[in-house]
Amino acid sequence: MHHHKYRLIVPFLLPAILLYGLFVVWPYAQAIYVSLTSWRGVSSNRPFVGLDNYQRLWQDTRFHEALGRNGQLLVVLPLVTVAIALTFAALFTQGSQRVRGAGFYRVVYFFPQIIPAVIVGILWSYIYTPNIGLLNGVLRAAGLEGLTRSWLTDPATVLWAIVAVAIWSSVGFYMVIFLASMQSIPASFYEAAILDGATRWTSFKDITFPLIWETLRTSIIYLAIAALDFFILVVVVSGGSTTMGARRAEVAAVYLYNQAFDSSRWGYASAIGVVLLILTLLLSVVIMRVTRRETYEF
């Protein structure tokens, strides 16, 4: 019986498995091999150096600094994005009767998600322009000229200016995910809570939050992975991977790009990529284990 079942399933799974192996597993395997060489990216000769690239990474202070910025993003990006998206989603579900134009706001908040990341980066690079940018212009008009600055070259603000763009472009997407999860909760749960004298906050804490926990958990994992990547916005908003602004906001993925395309150290760059892959896998496993809790069915 089981034998016949597998004879039916395998032919359907085999094409997908072959495609996955060809376009995902094989490139990963190639990258791991290249990370063990000193390949310069311009010849077929790939001198094998073993773990030398990884030993250099262990002593590379610039890589450590870049990875440290990723560590800061791992805390800020998921926390702030989820908090804002969750707040909006709660307002548009539990408080939808009190928020006029809730449907319009949903569309407005989701709109940045449909804009390509490169366009978002170019748009905000103009907003952050010191002399003619919208942000400094608004600050001057509001009489807050003392707060104006060169956002993308100031070491104290460049990274966080780019993080603000990432949050702005992501909040709408996660808000819609949380909305869908919240709207699947039966209204009778909230009606019973109101009869028991529960406040809106109590209903959210004791009903909404536990029932959407799996959605929150998945969102945190996605945002954590995005924090370890965080390449496109840094390069586009700061004006290029080799500019002073990008150097002061350099994360591990940008450092990888610089090593590969600017320094032609493809073996070393591949080693950085392999380290990021391992960290991403470990981070996902850790988050899944740490955030594991009892699930509720309804």
Residue of higher predicted confidence among 91 and 124? 124
Look at residue 298 in the predicted model and tell me its pLDDT: 56
Cα dist. 149→60, 129, 238 in Å?
Answer: 32, 9, 15
Q: Which two tokens stand for residue 138?
A: 């608004």
pLDDT one-digit tens code per residue, 143-181 = 888 888 888 888 888 889 999 999 999 998 999 899 888
| Higher-scoring residue by pLDDT: 164, 6 | 164
Q: How confident is the model at residue 74 (pLDDT cuts 50, 70, 90)?
A: very high
Q: Note the pLDDT of residue 294.
A: 64
Domain boundaries, the chain: 59-290
Lowest-pLDDT range of 160-169, 183-192, 214-223: 183-192
Return the percentage of the chain with pLDDT > 70, whole number.
90
- Alpha-carbon dihedral sign for residues 22, 28, 29, 35: positive
Least Cα distance to 154 among 135, 167, 175, 173 occurs for: 135
Mean of pLDDT values over 103-108: 73
Please state which of the ranges 54-63, 221-230, 244-253, 276-285 shows the lowest mean pLDDT: 244-253
Which has the minimum average pLDDT: 112-121, 166-175, 289-298?
Answer: 289-298
The class that CATH gives domain 59-290 is mainly alpha
